[in-house]
Structure 1
Amino acid sequence: MAAPTQAPATTRSTNTMAILALVFAFVFSPLGIVFGAVAKKQIAQTGEEGMGLAKAGFWLGIVFTVLGVLWFVLVFALALSAGTTTT
């Protein structure tokens, strides 16, 4: 008796935008937000892998963008207060 043949295993590819979302969350966080949102939409339509990467890139992008804005405001406020003199 011949052994039954098995169909080759199909592998779903990881969404490229999801990978870019996670990378850009650390490099330039606003792009992490954009790529994460686009990747989540693409994954929902195509069924690709990478939803976790997309969500992580999206949320890390938000967190790092907020932290960056707060840092900018803090530095700006300190620069203004250091530049003023009282007489």
Structure 2
Amino acid sequence: MTTPPPYYGPPAQPANDKTTLWGVLGIVFAFCCSPLGIVFGILSLMEAKKVGKEPTLGYIAIGLSALLFVVGIVLNVTGVLGGLTGGKS
């Protein structure tokens, strides 16, 4: 008598979704081009909703991009950024 093979649960999700890709790109672009980081974060959220994955990276990308965008504006308006780069304020 043979025993059935063990059951390991449902199969893994397909690796062809782009949720992680968009989220990581959003986080990376948050540091150099905040508006682009927000766009990639939104793409990550939309892809996560479509494939049923957790949207954590999308939220991080949007939050970090928005925070760095606001900090960049504040530093430009106050002239601190010009002083750091050696420019005239």
1:23 is aligned to 2:25:
no
Secondary structure class of the residue paired with 1:35: helix
Q: CA RMSD in A?
A: 2.4
What secondary structure does 2:53 align onto? coil
**Deviant stretches of 4+, over 3 Å:** 6-9, 11-14
Alignment-mate amino acid for residue 77 of structure 2 = V
Alignment of 1:1-87 (within 5 A): 1-5=1-5, 6=7, 9-13=11-15, 15=19, 16-49=21-54, 51-75=55-79, 79=89
Gaps of 5+ in 2: 83-87
Percent identity over the alignment? 30
Quick check: 1:22–1:32 contact (8 Å CA) kept in 2? Answer: yes
Aligned length: 77
Residues 24 and 32, structure 1, Cα contact 8 Å, conserved in 2: yes
- Between the aligned partners of 2:46 and 2:72, the Cα distance in structure 1 is 26
Larger radius of gyration: 1
Relative to the length of structure 1, the TM-score reads: 0.70
Determine which structure has the larger helix proportion and give its number: 1
Name the aligned partner's letter for residue 34 of structure 1. V
AA at the equivalent of 1:60 = L
SS of residue paired to 2:31: helix
Give 1:4 shift: 1.9
* TM-score (normalised: structure 2): 0.69
Q: Distance in 1 between matches of 2:47 and 2:68?
A: 24
